[in-house]
Structure 1
Amino acid sequence: MNNAKRFKIFNTYVDALSLDETIQAVERIISERKPTQHVVINASKVNIMQKDKKLTDIINSCSLINADGASIVWASKVLGIPLKERVTGIDLFMSLIELANEKKYKIYLFGAKEEVIIRVKEIFETKYPNLNITGYRNGYFAESDEPAIVENMAESRADMMFVAFSSPKKEYWVNKYINQLNIPFVMGVGGSFDVVAGVTERAPIWMQQHSLEWFYRLIQEPRRMWRRYIIGNAKFVLLTYKTKFKMAKTH
């Protein structure tokens, strides 16, 4: 996708698109039926990319990259990048489910535990009567199962697939099979299935509006998340100011 609104940030890129503009881009992708991997970037992923060239190459090859984290919006202001707004993965995911219901797009759900994905399917089918879920599968399998899984996905003729793995596993997996899936739009959604199913809670609206979702996750799971958010955020702030200093030296 030729995107004049794409800007370089750190060792990757971000598309300065609103949520509505992103949805319009997804509709074009579906109409063209060209295999497209969608990704979002946040502080954690940018930190990983400083050492993971494979992940960096995968993300930079994607034709649609949204700013998921408030951290990216903050960094864009420091670095002078005209980013309109953050487009969180879960907000885009839920908007696309509504779009699929409206336009009768076929969707495939992939990832999470069996009981979680079944619950997500039930919730969506109850709330969205026109939603056509042409396939679903949990995220637990051996590598030897992958050819059959990919074949099932290709046979589903889905228009959109949502992959609920963590990073960088989801980016690696989608990149490996994107051209075999026969699905034009494939998006990683991380822990969004758990949120939909009620396994985990999303931060209250006021915390979302004040860029405090990371803090809500931290207090929910401090032992698992402290390294990502305390150490990771500090690394990201340092990286941002180092980048700003380098930019100032070259101008």
Structure 2
Amino acid sequence: MVDIGSVKKEKILGNNPRIKLLNTTIDVLDERQTVDLVEQYVLENEPLHLIGVNADKINALNSNTRLAEIVNSCGVINADGASVVLASKFLKEPLPERVAGIDLMQKLIELSAKKDYSVYFLGARKNVVEKTAKELKHKYPKLNIVGVHDGYFEETDWNKIANEIKSTNPNFIFVGITSPIKEYLVEFLQAKGCRGVFMGVGGSFDVISGMIPRAPQWMQNINLEWLYRVMQEPRRLFKRYLFGNFRFIKSIIREKLSKS
């Protein structure tokens, strides 16, 4: 792993409250508030690693000190999981809503097209990320896309990626790369002087490009989008959700009892 030195805590621009849930800092923000806050970083030219956490991410950072340091140093940390919102209510520190990464990304794309903020897409397979850019450009003809790069490169290419991003100087860099490599990469790019708002977008490129369908709206509304994903990729996701959710629930109950 590339040495990026100590993790630098980002500047906090918002005055919203934050809670701590299983050693994870989370901002008490809804989607609209998040968009407004993120735009402050753009307007003040402050670098930002915008991140969303779900049960799987919280499980991971509680067994990965480096990942925990990076996540908790981010300027904006959203609850991107219904289980996290439910857990916050159970612990009597309620979060307003789930801020779904794909929805937030599209709100920021819409904002960028309206305000002429530049965007860069990094991640996924070459045909997927290029199709994503094409679809978004079709939807938002004024969208200023300054770069597109797939996610299939080696750690030895990170400097090259950093130089390309610095040369195009985008306001937003949307990163569709598997965690925790994504977090390590963003931290590296920021350490190399890449500014702008970095946002990890999970599998959003696959959905926006049309490669993978998103759950029906009714499933999204009742917080069953995770189940739809499991149905799409049962071999890869069944054990993760079954054992991961059990581990998360167990940890939440333990935290509740420790505060009693």
TM range (shorter): over 0.9
Q: Which ranges of 4 or more aligned residues in structure 1 deviate by more than 6 Å?
A: none
Q: Identity across aligned pairs (percent)?
A: 42
Structure 1 position 126, deviation (Å)? 0.9
Aligned equivalent of 2:43: 31
Q: 1 CA distance for matches of 2:205 and 2:163? A: 23
Query: What secondary structure is seen at the aligned counterpart in 1 of 2:207?
Result: helix
1:95 to 2:121 alignment: no
* 2:16–2:28 CA contact under 8 A, matched in 1: no
C-alpha RMSD over aligned residues: 1.0
**1:1-251 paired onto structure 2 within 5 Å:** 1-2=12-13, 3-248=15-260
Report deviation, 1:247.
Answer: 1.1
The aligned residue for residue 6 of structure 2 is none
- List per-residue Cα deviations over 1:179-237 (Å, max 9, x = no partner): 43533211000110001011111111111111101111111111000111111111111
**TM-score, with length taken from structure 2:** 0.93
161-170 or 179-188: bigger deviation: 179-188
CA contact (8 A) 1:154 1:181 kept: yes
Cα shift readout 1:130-170 (whole Å, capped 9, x = no counterpart): 10001110001122222111101011111010000121111
Q: Is the 8 A contact 1:35 1:179 kept in 2?
A: no
> Matched residue pairs, number?
248
Contact map agreement 1:107 1:134 (CA 8 A) in 2: yes
Alignment partners' CA distance in 2, 1:93 and 1:73: 19
Write the distance in 2 (CA, Å) between the matches of 1:243 and 1:114.
43
CA contact (8 A) 2:16 2:29 kept: no
SS of equivalent to 2:57: helix
Q: Which runs of 5+ in 1 are unaligned?
A: none
Whole-angstrom distance in 2 between the partners of 1:182 and 1:57: 19
- Residues 161 and 186 in structure 1, CA contact (< 8 A), matched pair in contact too: yes
Match of 2:9 in 1: none
- Whichever residue aligns with residue 253 of structure 2, its letter is Y
Q: Which whole-Å CA distance do the structure 1 matches of 2:183 and 2:160 have between them?
A: 20
